[in-house]
């Protein structure tokens, strides 16, 4: 629901984004900042905890490498999880490692004299009953094709936060418009006929993953999407870094970039066939 | 409260006890001879030594009290033939005057709608008046004459960005302007996302902008007043006017209902971009709707010399529909009922009943994700404005303004049973606002004129409503809600009040120059919670309540004013400093639209602005116009934003130059020119880049908001107006207007986006264009969006 406003903003953007051209600006470089990215789920691992550093804006290579960082992942009941730094800044959990529902995990990163920490709880599995495929003719915002319709439930009594990730033939839809995020605050318990915004063709293999997120993680992704859609213009809010759920314990005013996600996930895979 | 009443009556006593000599009053109305429209600001001067005079009010009424004797009274208004009458004053006298428009000689073609020497003589500083004729003579985007955009050409007034109608006056944001259409508040003065304003130029008579020194009769907004008067309608003969333009067409009909007693005016305007859409064979295009329209109407009736009523209204709507999947609509409605009553020669009362409402709604219909969302904001108000013309040197204005506000931020309904959306609504909020004012204007001597005003206002957020109580008392996102207190209908939830003193002083150095100073304190009890710079129809207005305190502002200004060459040139210079308290800003990722406890999404801080405004105006002759320069800064400081340090507001622009020229080559041909230059707006640019979750993300320094600058903005517009030949018996007059916006096609950046460019092509979208060609490269880049290159347009206008 909240995203419908983004929808409006995007439409406004389309109406006015008549002419564009590239400009090269003389940008100032800030001090490199650490980027922490970790997604620990109930699927069998290895799961990756990735560290990096920001670069100059126009720098084309990826994040700069983080060396000599210490990373710990702590399971509340069972203690520390062994991590293996396979490349500098890339820390892997053991093969087959799975997060457990109800368990609380804490991530601790020490780098350059700063201590970063985040905690998350694995929430119960989302409820997905079925996915139905139907053909749809062309519509204003959608091409013609086979669409997936999601049926499930969302337990009431508290607000739940979800993210869906959709793969077409093992390729993740991963554009800024592909963040399928939702909270169920204004939604009924039975979710039926929820359309996934992708047209598929006969023979496509579709994989849908549904994650149950902690609120701070969800807020992070919302902030990330808002920033990715921020066109820097007068209809956009002032651009700010997404609010991370990772704290800088040493210096609270200097939070890191990135997120720590621990979540349960359910997966549905199907092949698009003739109706 | 009691104190203020005591103070008011004290001032009364002081002024009323002064009269001893035998004095009589001349009063009446000054009107335009051809149409019967009241002339606002016409001067009525007696040949005493020194001359004593009065000025007509918003209804054309004047009152002048003089000792018994013989006088020569002259009635004048720039652009009109002066009328002089010899009178013998030994009793109260009624004189109604109709002034003829001056012959269209080149020197006098411009009707400025004001006195010749107002720049020097008038008490007000920081005040700008534009007649609709002047506005119509300026080149306009798509040829659409726009009242609000023309104000942006004045010093101290800025826009949010190219083509938009929001006003940012001396560092105030766009919700700090009191926009009045025939005294009714207009909450959202924009059409089409702000690219056009809602005021149909054919219905408008006069526009007055106060940037400071706001008279005490206005209240409720911090930074400015935009007071728009609608025409009354021709009371002499039936006539019409209209135009066919690039974007819209307009038609106005006006005439007497009963000659010299009652008249009406109705005017309508509609855009027709969507009519072209309908011609498309592609149903994806032809099923879309995109239009706006306006409708203004006004009528008046004069019962007697003493009583006159006016009824006027505005109704306008914007509609966007994309097939049936998505629809958005919004609009304003205003209604004004006025009764002018002249108690006696000296006391004039205008009583007004007002209604104003703004609503927006949108619907999304995408299989089971379907719902309709409606929001509304409305007010009902009553006003009494008295003017007491005590003597030529003392005028008193006093009155009361009461408003009942209803805020209905959101009501959501699923469109059908299949919808996964629950019906839901945010709590309505209700408030009562009251203002009482007294304005005392005294001419101390020929040099010194003082206007001292006091406004007392209060605001009460009333039930029904719920207030959340937070752990620790202070609302924050982290604090748990420990209790909810419910209030019943009409019960006071939160009460705020304040005194708003206003002071204007004019000191004349000689006949052609003066120094003026002003101070004002203003209170504002409702504001927009928005995180964008420009206004959008979906903006949420929030009242002061238990947690959100009202805005207050203080502004001081001093200025030097000088006229040259028999009032042909007017020079003005002003210095101002303004301070604002309780300016709200949204915290990052704030949920503005669906939050019942919006207090946790906001932070309140302060703002300040200062500047120097210089303007040289030419009022007479074949060439008229102005050149202005503004040097200004605007800052904000809000806890939780930019490390709590001061940062420049997004619309902070250091230098601003505008040149507006109109040249009349002959009675048939005239030309207009606008040039604007402003230094780039303050903006946040990234200080780095990183990758996360497969995305390329710009990295911002959150502790230094708006520390970069957009490139400079400049633009030149031209227009050419060709009038039809004037023939004495010709009923149908017409003129063509050709205008060119952005003559040298400067690509002024509207925004700069930090995103990836694929295949070295800014337009390549890997999602959409993926099929038409493989993506072979990708790199981080900055992409500028510019709205308009050179835009020529033509319109045909007629009068009959």
Question: Could you report the per-residue pLDDT of A248-275, keeping only the tens digit for each?
Answer: 999 998 999 999 999 999 999 999 987 6
Inter-chain CB proximity B362 and A53 less than 8 Å = no
Shortest Cα distance, chain A CAs vs residue B421, angstroms: 5
pLDDT category at B284 given cuts 50, 70, 90 is low
Q: Which pLDDT does position B280 carry in this prediction?
A: 63
Give CA separation, B310 vs A237, B199, B217, B265, in Å.
Answer: 43, 19, 20, 11
Residues of chain B contacting A25 with CB distance shorter than 8 Å: 685, 752, 782
CATH superfamily of the domain spanning B228-472+504-748+790-799: TonB-dependent receptor, beta-barrel domain (2.40.170.20)
pLDDT digits 0-9 by tens, B27-67: 899 988 888 888 888 888 888 877 888 888 888 899 888 88
Inter-chain CB proximity A23 and B536 less than 8 Å = no
- Matching CATH number, B2-108, of 3.30.70.1730, 3.40.50.150, 3.40.120.10, 2.60.40.1120: 2.60.40.1120
Q: Which pLDDT does position B113 carry in this prediction?
A: 45
Q: Is A257 on the interface with B (CB under 8 A)?
A: yes
For the cut 90, the answer to whether the pLDDT of residue B775 exceeds it is no
The segment(s) of chain B belonging to CATH 2.60.40.1120 are 2-108
Distance between CA A256 and CA A248 in Å, rounded?
7
Query: Residues near B445 by Cβ (< 8 Å), separated by ≥ 6?
Result: none
State the average pLDDT over residues A201-211.
Answer: 94
Q: Are B341 and B385 in contact (CB under 8 A)?
A: no
Inter-chain CB proximity A23 and B782 less than 8 Å = yes
Inter-chain CB proximity B751 and A33 less than 8 Å = no
Query: Residues near B8 by Cβ (< 8 Å), separated by ≥ 6?
Result: B398, B438
Inter-chain CB proximity B420 and A139 less than 8 Å = no
Distance between CA A261 and CA A121 in Å, rounded?
9
Q: Are B156 and B590 in contact (CB under 8 A)?
A: no
Tokens of A117: 């920490």
Higher pLDDT, B302 or B531: B302
Shortest Cα distance, chain A CAs vs residue B530, angstroms: 8
Q: Is A61 on the interface with B (CB under 8 A)?
A: no
For the cut 60, the answer to whether the pLDDT of residue B513 exceeds it is yes
Shortest Cα distance, chain A CAs vs residue B697, angstroms: 7
Sign of torsion over alpha carbons B129, B133, B139, B140? positive
State the average pLDDT over residues B207-233.
Answer: 93
The segment(s) of chain B belonging to CATH 2.170.130.10 are 118-227
DSSP B676-731: EEEPPPEE---SEEEEETTEEEEE--TTSTT-EEPPPEEEEEEEEEEEPPP-TT--
Q: Which pLDDT does position B621 carry in this prediction?
A: 85
Query: For residue B740, which of B270, B246, B191 has the smallest C-alpha distance?
Result: B246
State the average pLDDT over residues B522-547.
Answer: 88
Query: For residue A119, which of A79, A71, A78, A74 has the smallest C-alpha distance?
Result: A74
Query: Residues near B692 by Cβ (< 8 Å), separated by ≥ 6?
Result: A35, A37, A224, A257, A258, A259
pTM: 0.88
For the cut 90, the answer to whether the pLDDT of residue B462 exceeds it is yes
For the cut 60, the answer to whether the pLDDT of residue B537 exceeds it is yes
Residues of chain B contacting A57 with CB distance shorter than 8 Å: 686-689, 698-699, 754, 780, 782
Between positions 442 and 501 of B, the ones with CB within 8 A of A are none
Q: Are B236 and B256 in contact (CB under 8 A)?
A: yes
Place of tokens 């590239």: A22
Mutate: best of B699, B747, B779, partner A, most A CBs <10 A = B699
Mutate: best of A17, A133, A134, A140, partner B, most B CBs <10 A = A140
Distance between CA B536 and CA B164 in Å, rounded?
11
Burial classification of residue B334, based on how many CB atoms lie within 10 Å of its CB (0-12 exposed, 13-18 middle, 19 or more buried): buried
Burial classification of residue A147, based on how many CB atoms lie within 10 Å of its CB (0-12 exposed, 13-18 middle, 19 or more buried): buried
Shortest Cα distance, chain B CAs vs residue A188, angstroms: 6
Between positions 321 and 340 of B, the ones with CB within 8 A of A are 322-323, 325-326, 328
Distance between CA B688 and CA B684 in Å, rounded?
12
For the cut 90, the answer to whether the pLDDT of residue B616 exceeds it is yes
pLDDT digits 0-9 by tens, B641-672: 999 999 999 889 999 999 999 999 988 899 99
Distance between CA B277 and CA B714 in Å, rounded?
33
CATH superfamily of the domain spanning B118-227: TonB-dependent receptor, plug domain (2.170.130.10)
Inter-chain CB proximity B420 and A55 less than 8 Å = no
Counting every residue written for chain A, the total comes to 275
State the average pLDDT over residues B560-573.
Answer: 91
Q: Which residue of A has its CA nearest to B780?
A: A58
Residues of chain B contacting A1 with CB distance shorter than 8 Å: 371, 412, 421, 594
Q: Which residue of B has its CA nearest to A53?
A: B690
State the average pLDDT over residues B346-360.
Answer: 94
For B701, which of A30, A63, A177 is closest by C-beta distance?
A: A30
For the cut 90, the answer to whether the pLDDT of residue A191 exceeds it is no
pLDDT category at B581 given cuts 50, 70, 90 is very high
- Average pLDDT of chain B is 87
Inter-chain CB proximity A33 and B424 less than 8 Å = no
Mutate: best of B374, B690, B778, partner A, most A CBs <10 A = B690
The angle subtended at Cα A193 by Cα A191 and Cα A196, nearest 5°, is 100
State the average pLDDT over residues B142-167.
Answer: 86
Q: Which pLDDT does position B13 carry in this prediction?
A: 41
For B237-368, where are the E strands, in sequence order? 239-244, 248-258, 262-271, 289-302, 307-322, 326-342, 347-366
Sign of torsion over alpha carbons A213, A218, A221, A226? positive
Mutate: best of B159, B420, B684, partner A, most A CBs <10 A = B420
Residue B105: count of CB within 10 angstroms of its CB: 8
Measured in degrees and rounded to the nearest 5, phi and psi for residue B367 equal 45, -120
Q: Are B718 and B139 in contact (CB under 8 A)?
A: yes
Q: Are A267 and A208 in contact (CB under 8 A)?
A: yes
For the cut 50, the answer to whether the pLDDT of residue B105 exceeds it is no
Q: Which residue of A has its CA nearest to B163?
A: A16
The segment(s) of chain B belonging to CATH 2.40.170.20 are 228-472+504-748+790-799
pLDDT digits 0-9 by tens, B425-453: 889 999 999 999 999 999 898 899 999 99
Report the percent of chain B where pLDDT is more than 90.
Answer: 51
Tokens of B497: 């009040």
State the average pLDDT over residues B326-334.
Answer: 90
For the cut 50, the answer to whether the pLDDT of residue B506 exceeds it is yes
Q: Are A107 and A118 in contact (CB under 8 A)?
A: yes
């Amino acid at each position: 629901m909240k995203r419908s406003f983004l929808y409006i903003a995007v439409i406004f953007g389309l109406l006015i984004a008549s002419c564009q051209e590239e400009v090269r600006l003389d940008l100032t470089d800030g001090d490199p900042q650490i980027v922490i990215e970790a997604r620990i789920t109930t699927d069998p691992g290895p799961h990756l905890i990735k560290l990096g550093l920001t670069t100059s804006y126009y720098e084309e290579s990826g994040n700069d490498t983080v060396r000599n960082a210490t990373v710990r992942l702590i399971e509340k009941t069972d203690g520390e999880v062994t991590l293996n730094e396979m490349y500098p800044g890339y820390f892997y959990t053991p093969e087959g490692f799975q997060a457990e529902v109800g368990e609380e995990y804490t991530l601790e990163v020490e780098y350059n004299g700063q201590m970063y920490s985040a905690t998350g709880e694995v929430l119960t599995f989302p409820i997905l009953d079925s996915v139905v495929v139907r053909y749809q003719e062309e519509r204003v915002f959608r091409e013609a094709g086979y669409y997936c319709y999601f049926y499930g439930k969302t337990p009431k009594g508290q607000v739940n936060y979800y993210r869906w990730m959709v793969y077409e033939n093992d390729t993740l839809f991963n554009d800024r418009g592909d963040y399928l995020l939702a909270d169920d605050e204004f939604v009924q318990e039975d979710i039926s006929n929820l359309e996934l915004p992708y047209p598929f063709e006969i023979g496509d293999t579709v994989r849908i993953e549904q994650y149950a997120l902690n609120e701070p993680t969800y807020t992070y992704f919302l902030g990330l999407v808002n920033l990715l859609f921020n066109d820097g213009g007068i209809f956009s809010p002032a651009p700010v870094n997404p609010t991370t759920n990772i704290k800088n314990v040493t210096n609270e005013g200097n939070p890191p970039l990135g997120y720590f996600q621990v979540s349960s996930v359910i997966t549905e895979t199907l092949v698009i066939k003739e109706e | 409260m009691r104190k203020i009443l005591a103070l008011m009556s004290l001032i009364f006593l002081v002024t009323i006890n002064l009269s001893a000599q035998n004095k009589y009053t001349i009063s009446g109305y000054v009107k335009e001879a051809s149409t019967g429209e009241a002339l606002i600001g016409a001067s009525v001067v007696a040949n005493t030594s020194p001359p004593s005079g009065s000025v007509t009010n918003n209804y054309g009424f004047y009152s002048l009290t003089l000792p018994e004797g013989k006088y020569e009274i002259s009635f004048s208004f720039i652009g009109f033939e002066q009328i002089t009458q010899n009178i013998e004053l030994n009793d109260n006298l009624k004189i109604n005057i109709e002034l003829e428009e001056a012959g269209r000689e080149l020197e006098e073609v411009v009707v400025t709608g004001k006195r010749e020497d107002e720049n020097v003589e008038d008490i007000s500083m920081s005040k700008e008046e534009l007649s609709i004729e002047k506005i119509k003579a300026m080149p306009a985007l798509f040829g659409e004459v726009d009242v609000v955009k023309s104000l942006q050409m004045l010093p101290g007034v800025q826009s949010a960005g190219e083509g938009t109608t929001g006003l940012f006056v001396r560092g105030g944001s766009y919700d700090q302007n009191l926009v009045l259409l025939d005294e009714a508040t207009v909450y959202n003065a924009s059409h089409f996302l702000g690219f056009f304003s809602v005021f149909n130029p054919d219905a408008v008579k006069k526009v007055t902008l106060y940037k400071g020194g706001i008279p005490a009769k206005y209240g409720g907004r911090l930074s400015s007043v935009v007071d728009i008067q609608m025409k009354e309608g021709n009371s002499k003969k039936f006539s019409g006017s209209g135009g066919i333009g690039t974007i819209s067409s307009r038609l106005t009909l006006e005439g007497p209902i009963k000659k010299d007693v009652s008249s009406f005016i109705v005017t309508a305007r509609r855009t027709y971009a969507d009519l072209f859409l309908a011609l498309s064979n592609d149903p994806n295009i032809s099923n879309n709707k995109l239009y706006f329209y306006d409708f203004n109407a006004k009528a008046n009736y004069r019962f007697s010399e003493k009583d006159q009523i006016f009824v006027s209204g505005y109704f306008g709507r914007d509609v966007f529909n994309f097939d049936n999947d998505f629809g958005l609509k919004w609009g304003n409605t205003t209604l004004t009922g006025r009764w002018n009553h002249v108690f006696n020669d000296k006391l004039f009362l205008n009583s007004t009943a007002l209604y104003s409402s703004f609503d927006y709604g949108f619907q999304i219909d995408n299989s089971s994700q379907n719902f309709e969302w409606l929001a509304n904001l409305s007010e009902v108000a009553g006003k009494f404005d008295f003017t007491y013309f005590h003597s030529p040197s003392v005028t008193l204005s006093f009155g009361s303004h009461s408003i009942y506000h209803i805020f209905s931020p959101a009501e959501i309904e699923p469109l059908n049973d299949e919808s996964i959306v629950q019906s839901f609504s945010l709590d309505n909020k209700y408030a009562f606002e009251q203002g009482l004012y007294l304005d005392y204007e005294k001419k101390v001597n020929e040099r010194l004129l003082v206007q001292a005003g006091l406004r007392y206002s209060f605001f009460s957020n009333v039930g029904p409503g719920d207030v959340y109580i937070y752990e620790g008392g202070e609302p924050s996102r982290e604090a748990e809600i420990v209790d909810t207190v419910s209030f019943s209908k009409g019960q006071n939830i939160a009460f705020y009040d304040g005194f708003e003193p206003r002071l204007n002083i004019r000191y004349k150095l000689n006949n052609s120059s003066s120094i003026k100073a002003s101070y004002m304190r203003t209170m504002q009890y409702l504001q927009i919670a928005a995180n964008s710079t420009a206004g959008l129809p979906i903006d949420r207005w929030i009242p002061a309540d238990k947690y959100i305190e009202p805005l207050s502002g203080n502004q001081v200004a001093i200025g030097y004013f000088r006229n040259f060459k028999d009032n042909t040139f007017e020079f003005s210079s002003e210095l101002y400093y303004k301070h604002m308290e309780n300016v709200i800003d949204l915290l990052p990722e704030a949920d503005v639209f669906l939050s019942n406890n919006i207090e946790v999404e906001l932070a309140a801080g302060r703002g300040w602005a200062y500047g120097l405004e210089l303007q040289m105006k030419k009022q007479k002759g074949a060439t008229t116009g102005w050149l202005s320069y503004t040097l200004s800064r605007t800052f904000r400081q809000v806890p939780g934003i930019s490390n709590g340090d001061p940062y420049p507001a997004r619309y902070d622009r250091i230098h601003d130059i505008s040149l507006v020229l109109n040249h009349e080559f002959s009675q048939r041909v005239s030309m207009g020119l606008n040039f604007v230059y402003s230094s780039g707006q303050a903006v946040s640019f990234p200080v780095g880049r990183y990758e996360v979750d497969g995305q390329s993300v710009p990295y911002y320094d959150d502790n230094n908001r708006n520390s970069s600058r957009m490139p400079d903005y400049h633009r030149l517009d031209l227009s050419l107006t060709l009038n039809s030949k004037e023939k004495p018996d010709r009923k149908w007059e017409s003129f063509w207007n050709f205008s060119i916006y952005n003559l040298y096609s400067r690509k002024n950046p509207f925004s700069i986006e930090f995103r990836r460019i694929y295949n070295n092509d800014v337009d390549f979208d890997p999602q959409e264009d993926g099929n038409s060609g493989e993506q072979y490269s990708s790199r981080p880049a900055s992409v500028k969006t510019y709205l308009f290159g050179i835009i020529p347009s033509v319109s045909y206008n007629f009068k009959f």
